[in-house]
A and B are shown apart, each in its own frame.
Chain A
């Protein structure tokens, strides 16, 4: 029997300044320290009285089953569970830059199949990332029907799981993620961010999603 889940602040796997010069330390200090757990925990307590044991469900299940959430709490859950989960994934999807950092074998092959080449993938990802107006995220996902890789943008804190796609890489394009260093030049942020992608973690997520 699953126990009641209490969400905590996700820990950064590296120092605040470890992603310099691509993602700046000042931004990471603010970004990583935001409390995204309290609101979610409070919301889940509110839902705990309903038939579905929401407080025992993992966050990805919640995001995949928003339609089971009572309507008056649905938007709040989408926003708060999304915010927590998106950022939990985001920190792990990045790592300090290193020479020769690139996709591992399975993802590399899948990117070539879906986009033609790694550079074509980057161009597509850049276009989607800069095309999202206002606040949102861009994602590289596995389409569960075709098992192919696709790029999707989501508004606000929405996660692709809610649309039936499995994210294996995501980029936060809310202003708080980049504007201290890049101002409104989101395109430069996206280009630089490619240097700090944790392709090892992406490979793991891809393997899980295509089992």
Chain B
């Protein structure tokens, strides 16, 4: 069994102008595909090849974890965006956000802070804990909140490769643009345990 690169949920220009087709091309074809190729190379002829991606993320450390988690994180990232996304959540997700943060604006401010100010490579996450409490979680490098007992709900990639083509080092401008792409339906599904690890 080998690890596969899931298809993008949309065309490469679907996220433009917030995230350009050129960025999606690089990000998906070079980075995301690259992790899959590398993990398959690493796994060849070893017990690693028998594991599912989820098992790799949950049980491995070091290089195999980094590759597996990055494959998973990026798939989660692509699914968390869509053309004409953004605006605000409704229903159960909005309820949960209001309960945990006080308001959607406060949640947005905290998430933005985490995403913009994370130093070096990583991801900003909205996560749920076992008490159904939502919070912001910062992951460095390939870190994934599921390995720390949290349920991932939404993520923003703040590795430089995610925004350098479109925004150079202006990560704040990238994060501001990303809010226009958020797929709240996907996030709501995750609240109920949709993207299990």
Contacts and interface: CB of A to CB of B under 8 A. Distances in A.
Contacts of A135: 120-121, 160
Interface stretch (B130-138, B161-169, B182-190): B161-169
Max count, chain A CB within 10 A of own CB: residue among B66, B121, B159, B165: B121
B34 interface: yes
A129 B160 CA distance: 18
Contacts of B121: 134-135, 175
Q: How large is the interface on A (under 10, 10 to 19, 20 to 34, 35 or more residues)?
A: 10 to 19
A34 B121 CA distance: 17
Interface in B71-108: none
Contacts of B164: 30, 175-176, 179-180
A133 to B, nearest CB: 6
B10 interface: no
B190 to A, nearest CB: 25
Interface in A156-170: 156-157
A6 to B, nearest CB: 22
Contacts of A41: none
B119 A133 contact: no
A134 B31 contact: no
A184 B160 CA distance: 11
Contacts of A134: 120-122, 140-142, 159
A156 B141 CA distance: 11
Contacts of B120: 134-136, 155-157, 174
A79 B140 CA distance: 15
Interface in B107-130: 119-122
B30 interface: yes
Interface string A92-123: 00000000000000000000000000000000
Given A30-B169, A136-B120, A175-B161, 15 more contacts: A30-B164, A75-B119, A134-B140, A134-B142, A135-B160, A155-B120, A156-B119, A157-B120, A174-B160, A176-B169, A179-B161, A179-B164, A183-B26, A184-B31, A184-B161
Interface of A: 30, 34, 75, 79, 133-136, 155-157, 174-176, 179-180, 183-184
25 contacts: A30-B164, A133-B66, A133-B141, A134-B122, A135-B120, A135-B121, A135-B160, A156-B119, A156-B120, A157-B119, A174-B120, A175-B121, A175-B159, A175-B161, A175-B164, A176-B160, A176-B169, A179-B160, A179-B161, A179-B164, A180-B164, A183-B31, A183-B34, A184-B31, A184-B34
9 tightest Cβ-Cβ pairs between the two chains A and B: A134-B121, A134-B141, A135-B120, A175-B160, A183-B30, A156-B120, A135-B121, A176-B160, A184-B34
